[in-house]
Amino acid sequence: MKNRIKDLREDHDLTQQQIAEQIGITQRKYSYIETGTQPLTDDLLIRLANYYRVSIDYLLRQTNNPTRNM
């Protein structure tokens, strides 16, 4: 399964370090999340969804529509 979180980061031409700083974690922890070594917590899902302005369902690959319903 493709990693949508990694795809989003690469699509925005950002480094793991840049995203980690934006969501308040270490680059190492972010790397573990991208590789699946560490599971995503609800809090991190929310932070990533807010950062990229996409839905959590989109991050979890439950939909291909990134639009958030607010």
Backbone dihedral angles phi then psi of residue 35, each to the nearest 5 degrees: -85, -10
Given 3-state DSSP classes, what are the helix, strand and coil percentages for the chain, each rounded to the nearest 5? 55, 0, 45
Q: In total, how many domains does the chain have?
A: 1
User: How confident is the model over 39-54, as pLDDT tens digits?
Assistant: 889 999 999 999 999 9
Contact 68, 54 (CB under 8 A): yes
Identify the pLDDT of residue 64: 87
Q: pLDDT by residue (tens digit) across 11-68? A: 999 999 999 999 999 999 999 999 989 988 999 999 999 999 999 999 999 988 888 7
Task: Please indicate, yes or no, if residue 68 is contained in any of the structural domains.
Answer: no
Identify whether the C-beta of residue 20 lies closer than 8 Å to the C-beta of residue 6: no
Asked if residue 21 is part of any domain, the answer here is: yes
Asked if residue 29 belongs to a domain, the reply is yes
Residue 36: CATH number of its domain: 1.10.260.40
Q: Is the pLDDT of residue 70 over 80?
A: no
The owner of tokens 């270490």 is 26
Picking from 33, 26, 20, the residue whose alpha carbon sits closest to that of residue 59 is 33
Residue 36's domain spans which residues? 4-59
| pLDDT value, residue 1 | 37
Please give the pLDDT value at position 68: 78
